[in-house]
Structure formats: structure tokens, C-alpha cells
Amino acid sequence: MTTVTRTSQPAPTTDPPTTRRNRDRHHRGAARWIVLAALIAGAVVMLFPFGVIVLNAFKSPADYSAGGPLALPTEIFTSGMIDFWNRVNFGRKLWNSFMIAGSVAVLGVLVSLFNAYALGIGRVKGRLAIVVLFLMANMLPQEVLIYPLYYIAREVGLYDTQLAVIIIFTVIQSAFGTYLLSSVFGTFPKEILEASALDGASKWQTLWRIIFPISRPTLSVLMIFFFIWTWNEFFIPLVFLISNDNQTVPVALGVLQGQRMMDATTTSAAALLGIVPAIAFFLIFQRTLARGITAGAVK
């Protein structure tokens, strides 16, 4: 029985595979265009919101009520956007966002570097428990910290100050940074550290003259991440920054939207002003970012 099936099996399969594969290849020639068309259609759906925002950001209110949201503008109308910019003092919001995100990026990397130096290179006692603690802090929802932080900030006079937001995000971002850098530093070549110690370098000198220059690429990826993450944050800045002069870009736009105070064209102009910096950062940091995203995924 087994021999029969074994001998009878190859007979039909010797010929069909080649024809099937040929048909398959032929078939794929058409199929790939279908796949391409489907993906382009998907990309158009993804881009539709951006397109519609750009289309309406430069429309006059009269133009909008006459032609609706999908018509092309009859003229380029910029005074809606300029009015909005001046009314909310958007330049100030950009500067606030930039100050907060920039300070957090630098301070967060610095704190991560110190922590990871002690944990990854110094291998202090109990380092595993400490790293797990930092990892857990990463998972905490901000809601479980917000009220006590709000209360403490009011008590010490830091409520509604950018400093409070900078301190909080420095800690939150460095919890991730510490976790990541500690594992990177754990694989740091020992010979280099030993050579440095033999040359009589102190720990402080070893950190700045050896560890820092060698790990600079990782630190810069981390810094970009911290900057963009902090820029995009909404919840904590919403709670802490209540006065107009302190608000960040997402908070200012989110609060205005919540009040339903803006007409259609002003809202699209405002949304465009929120999108443009994000796209600018993306284009500037693209290469480093792509590397960082994949580096973060593969442990």
C-alpha cells in the first residue's frame, strides 16, 4: 500500500508544479498592480484628513459657506490664520512647547545617563529590582499620579508653571531612558573601562570622556524621542498649564476646540498650525527616528 501511494504520488506532481508556478508568476504580474492600487487607495484615505484641512485653512468664511468643505478655495485667504495666530498668541505657544520639550529632552537624557551609568556600568546592588521599578513606572497611567502631583505643585508654588511640567516629564521620560540605556550599557566592552581605570581616570572622567562619546548616537535618538513625545503630550500639560501664557500648542488647540468657539475655517487653520511643526520635526529627524523605532522594537 505504502509503496503504491509513494510511486503513484510523484507522477501527477512532477508536471503540474511547473505550470502552476508559471501561471502563478503570470498571475502575479497583474496582481501586483491590484495590490499597488489598493495600497495607494489606502494611502489616499489616510491622507484625506490632512488634504481637507489644508484645503480649508486658506478659505474665507464666505467662500466656505458658499462652496462647502470640499470645494477648492476661490482665492488664497490668509487673514483667518493670521487672526487666529494673533488672537491666541500662537508664537508664544510654539515657544512654550519648544522650551518644555527641549528642556525635557536634555534633562531626561542626562538623568537617564546618570542612572544607567550606575545600573549598567556600575552594576550597583539590587540593579535588577531598580530597573524593574523604572519599567513599571513606564506603564503607570498618568491619572494615578495626577492629583497628588497637582496637590504637591500647588503646595510648593509650582502650579501653572512650566518648571513643574519640565520636572514631571524629565522623570517620566527618563524612566524609559534608564531602562533602555541600562541594557545598552550592560553590553559595554569591559576592556575599555579597565583601561580607563588603569590610566587613573575617575568615575566622573570615565563617564564624560569614554561612555558619553561612545554612546552619543543612542543618546541623540533618545533625545529626539523625548522631545517629540513631550511636544505631543496633552494630559499633564492640560492639568498644569491653565494660564494662556504658559500653554503648549496641543493644550491651547485642545482647549479652544473644547470650547467650540471657533468657526469652521478658523478650526482648520488652527489644526494646520498644530500639524506643521510635527511634520517639520518628522522631516528633520526622519533618519534617526526610523532607526530608533526599529531599535526599540527588537529587544
Stretch that binds other proteins, among 80-88, 184-192, 218-226, 252-260 (CB under 8 A): 252-260
Q: Does 54 bind other proteins (CB under 8 A)?
A: no
User: Using the rule CB under 8 A, which residue among 65, 78, 86, 244 binds other proteins?
Assistant: 65
Distance CA 195, CA 43 (A): 54
Residues with Cβ within 8 Å of 163's Cβ and at least 6 positions away in sequence, in order, are none
CB under 8 Å to 264, separation ≥6 — which residues? 56, 61, 64, 69
x/- map, 130-149, other proteins, by CB under 8 A: x--xx-xx-xxxxxxxxxxx
CB of 139 to other proteins, least distance (A): 6
- CA distance to 111, 116, 142, 283, per residue, from 222 (Å): 12, 13, 21, 17
Q: Are 137 and 175 in contact (CB under 8 A)?
A: yes
Q: Which of 175, 180, 223, 241 binds other proteins (CB under 8 A)?
A: 175
- Cβ of residue 17: shortest distance to other proteins, in angstroms? 5
Q: Which of 106, 111, 184, 201 binds other proteins (CB under 8 A)?
A: 111
Residue pair 53/268 in contact (Cβ under 8 Å)? The answer is yes
299 touches other proteins by CB under 8 A: yes
Q: How far is the CB of 145 from other proteins (least distance, A)?
A: 4
Three-state DSSP state, 23 = helix
What part of residues 257-286 is at the interface with other proteins (CB under 8 A)?
257-258, 264, 267-268, 270-271, 274-275, 278-279, 281-282
Tell me which of 73, 102, 186, 254 binds other proteins, using CB under 8 A. Answer: 254
Residues in the chain: 299
